[in-house]
Chains A and B, each alone.
Chain A
Amino acid sequence: MTEEEIKKARAKAEQGERLSLQDALALYEDNDLLFLASCARKMKEKKSGKNVFYNVNRHINLTNICTSGCPLCAFQCEEGDKRGYVMETEDVARVLEDAKKVRNLGEIHIVSALHPTKDFDYYLNVVRQVKAALPDVDIKAFTPVEVVHFSQMTGKSVKEVLKILKEAGLSSLPGGGAEILNDRVRKEICPKKATTAQWIETIKAAHELGIRTNCSIMYGHIETIEERLQHLFTLRDIQDETGGFQAFIAFPFHPANTQLSHLKRVGSWEDMKMIAMSRLILDNIDHVKAFWIMLTTPLAQLALGFGADDLDGTIGEEKIIHEAGAKTGTGTTRERLRKLITEAGMIPVERDTFYNPIKEAE
């Protein structure tokens, strides 16, 4: 990168102008973290002022037995493994009983492995079961990877699958499974699951059906910096077309217990740089989420100064990430999240899935 290119990119970032991939590469190389943070923070304030969102949610991971065997995954195991589990109707019911006791529960978040024998009806029934038990709670469930799997199992198009899920009560899709939308990378980190094209097709189909989704990145493994940044531009292009993304989440890769455990977890510098750069590049996505369970609470709090405006939720059970060696607790309280936000000089706003503020939370 020439000095000229870096200067130009910095000027654009400062003005909050739309960045090109070249600009992003220049800013990445320039590596002026606090400059990036200042610009990202400005963009955040333009989008959501001093508000920082969180929600009260519960995660359900139905099974960890997976046919996909992605090298990047620490959660899955094969059928017959003693760590394997599947939640049956009674197990789900138990979680829902517990969830009913949560004050102002806003969302149930369901993501799971691709079980070899559980059919689409199994997943569909879970959605129906949740809807019946908690009719006012939003159901955010199934990544595009799972939806593609359902489509393959049933022979229905992804659009049909989504329609059926929506009718059963699904309100939005989480943004996982995007990893890096590049088939060279996917071949190495997750060869058997949805391809780049399939992931994008599913997301677009969802947006067309009026199902909002999130989107994400999993960074810090075998991808090049260019692939990493290009991924963000791919998401930006989709958003220009559909406008269906609500929030973006950056997941740092946790190598422990994966087939890529020889890699090292990237440092906090990189984490914060990703938050700030994502905020700047994704100028058409409203919210950038600092997922505290993956970043640790201190870094998630800091991310609020680097452009993030959402701390995710209070989360009951989160198995997927803890298998991968995340060292955070498995849940937190509303009070704790609110305190983190006020300490950062911002205003905590409890939200529903669609970022509508929930009034009585204060």
Chain B
Amino acid sequence: MYATNEYADIEQKILNEERLTREDGIRLFKCHDIAWLGNMADIVRKKKCGDIVYYNVNCHVNLTNICTSHCKFCAFGKDKDSKGAYAFSVEEAINVVRDAKKDPNLAGLHVVSGLHPDWSFEDYLERLQALHNEFPELYLKGFTGVEITHFSKISGLSIEEVLKKLKAAGLQAIAGGGAEILSDRVRTELCPKKATADEWIEVARTAHKLGIKTNASMLYGHIETIEERVDHLIKLRNLQDETGGLQTFICFPFLPKNTELGQNVRQTSMWDDLRTMAISRLMLDNIKNIKAYWVMLTVPVAQIALGFGANDIDGTVHKETILHDAGATSPTALSEDYIIKIIRDAGRIPAACDCNFNILRRFD
């Protein structure tokens, strides 16, 4: 028994591998014993995922930062005539990757972009196809539920048709972003113009039906309530019960700097980041992997997160612009050796994987 009496019932459930309820989740957010929370999440992690910690060596390609959506928490999206706005041509996109390919271990691409006012679905598709043709050996993960909803709207095609075309162009997995908080109250306030909660879920559901795996995420630490965080996790858990197609869950703390919302919101503490990680591990009993995304969390938090339920640390990301515009202070890329060391120091086994969690190399 590790818990104080107050939480003994939840501890029992966790040790018996019983599902936690919404009320349990809300209570866990009130728990101040972070060591206990972490310990519980770590016990679950050990059972579900063993000692391997995944990372990947990938390159982020953000095709354009011009975006019509103007989400209040976004520091990346710009208007067409703003300073620093860009939109890659096919060649420019290829050049970014060619540069990143100097790293012989580069295994894949992560492609996410703004919703460009003038680009058609074909414009995105053309770039994806070109990247795939030029670098067939690199795995391709990309496009969030938000972008895919947008493609469907601008092309008149159904979500399913859009996904089929993306898959045919080489897409192997869908990125987890854009979920934010799956609550229409929150979305109306922060990102009214982009995919609704239902639309985001529909994209994931359709992708799973087509055999495309997706990731899921949560952007927390802005205007959402604790209840909304828990409800968000439960929505993802329900979806996963239905389809089983979610591979990993990523917690994104909101980085207020350079965003419209930033004036009124303070950045989350490490304490909040770690308890949110642990509670996500505990609530999402049917999602195998939990990612500690070091680019946003910073390296020290990400390393400790490995004790709070995480078994994935993302990668040695090249060219991350979205978050660094939002004032992320972490370096823009970590060397693979360093990532291996961070994982090893935490007593775990580093394994490089592709976007579908196939292990490429492991370091026992």
Interface residues of chain A, those whose CB is within 8 Å of chain B, are 31-35, 37-38, 40-41, 266-272, 296, 298-299, 301-302, 305-306, 340, 343-346
Contact = CB atoms under 8 A, between A and B. Distances in A.
A35 B37 CA distance: 10
B28 to A, nearest CB: 13
Nearest to B338: A264
B269 A299 contact: no
A101 to B, nearest CB: 28
A308 B240 CA distance: 39
A302 B303 contact: no
A38 B301 contact: no
Interface of B: 2, 32-36, 38-39, 41-42, 269-271, 274, 299-301, 303-304, 306-308, 341-342, 345-347
Contacts of B271: 298, 301-302, 305, 343-344
Contacts of A32: 42, 347
Contact of B33 (A41, A270, A296, A340): A41
Nearest to B309: A34
Contact of A38 (B2, B269, B345, B346): B2
A210 B249 CA distance: 56
Contacts of B304: 33, 268-269, 272, 302
A346 B32 contact: yes
A40 B35 CA distance: 9
Given A38-B36, A38-B39, A272-B304, A298 B345 contact: no
Contacts of A296: 300
Contacts of B347: 31-33
A291 to B, nearest CB: 15
Contacts of B303: 267-269
Contact of B35 (A31, A37, A266, A301): A37
A345 B307 contact: no
A304 B270 CA distance: 12
A251 B42 CA distance: 27
Contacts of A268: 299-301, 303-304
Contacts of B39: 34-35, 37-38
A299 B300 contact: yes
Contacts of B35: 34, 37-38, 40-41, 305-306
Contact of A270 (B32, B269, B301, B345): B345
Contacts of B307: 33-34, 37, 269
A262 to B, nearest CB: 15
A302 B308 CA distance: 12
Given A267-B300, A305-B271, A343-B269, 9 more contacts: A33-B346, A34-B308, A35-B42, A37-B35, A268-B303, A301-B271, A302-B271, A306-B35, A346-B32
B72 to A, nearest CB: 25
A32 B45 CA distance: 12
B114 to A, nearest CB: 31
Q: Label chain B's interface by main secondary structure.
A: helix
B310 to A, nearest CB: 12
B33 A305 contact: yes
A35 B33 CA distance: 13
Ranked nearest first, the 6 interchain pairs of A and B with the lowest CB-CB distance are A345-B32, A268-B300, A31-B347, A298-B270, A37-B35, A305-B34
Contacts of A305: 33-35, 38, 271
A35 B41 CA distance: 11
A344 B346 contact: no
B32 A344 contact: yes
Contact of A37 (B38, B269, B270, B341): B38
Contacts of B300: 267-268, 271, 296, 298-299
B196 to A, nearest CB: 33
Which of A34, A298, A302 is most buried by chain B, counting CB atoms within 10 A of its CB? A34
B68 to A, nearest CB: 36
Contacts of B34: 37, 302, 305, 344
B192 to A, nearest CB: 31
Contact of B306 (A35, A41, A269, A343): A269
A32 B347 CA distance: 8
A236 B36 CA distance: 27
Nearest to B304: A268
Nearest to B30: A345
A34 B32 CA distance: 14
A167 to B, nearest CB: 45
Contacts of A38: 2, 35-36, 39
B330 to A, nearest CB: 12
Contacts of B269: 298, 301, 340, 343
A345 B4 CA distance: 14
Nearest to A31: B347
A272 to B, nearest CB: 6
Contacts of B33: 41, 305, 345
A302 B270 contact: yes
A302 B270 CA distance: 7
A143 B274 CA distance: 36
26 contacts: A33-B38, A34-B41, A37-B307, A38-B2, A38-B35, A38-B36, A266-B345, A267-B345, A267-B346, A268-B300, A268-B301, A269-B304, A269-B306, A269-B342, A269-B345, A270-B345, A296-B300, A298-B271, A299-B270, A301-B269, A301-B271, A302-B270, A302-B271, A305-B33, A305-B35, A345-B32
Nearest to B278: A34
Which of B34, B35, B39 is most buried by chain A, counting CB atoms within 10 A of its CB? B35
Nearest to A35: B39
Contacts of A346: 32
Contacts of A306: 35
Contacts of A343: 269, 271
Contacts of B301: 268, 298
B307 to A, nearest CB: 4
A33 B41 CA distance: 12
A302 B274 contact: yes
Contacts of B345: 266-267, 269-270
Contacts of B38: 33-34, 37, 305
A276 to B, nearest CB: 8
Contact of B42 (A34, A266, A271, A299): A34
B51 to A, nearest CB: 10
Contacts of B36: 38, 41
A9 to B, nearest CB: 15
A30 B127 CA distance: 49
B266 to A, nearest CB: 10
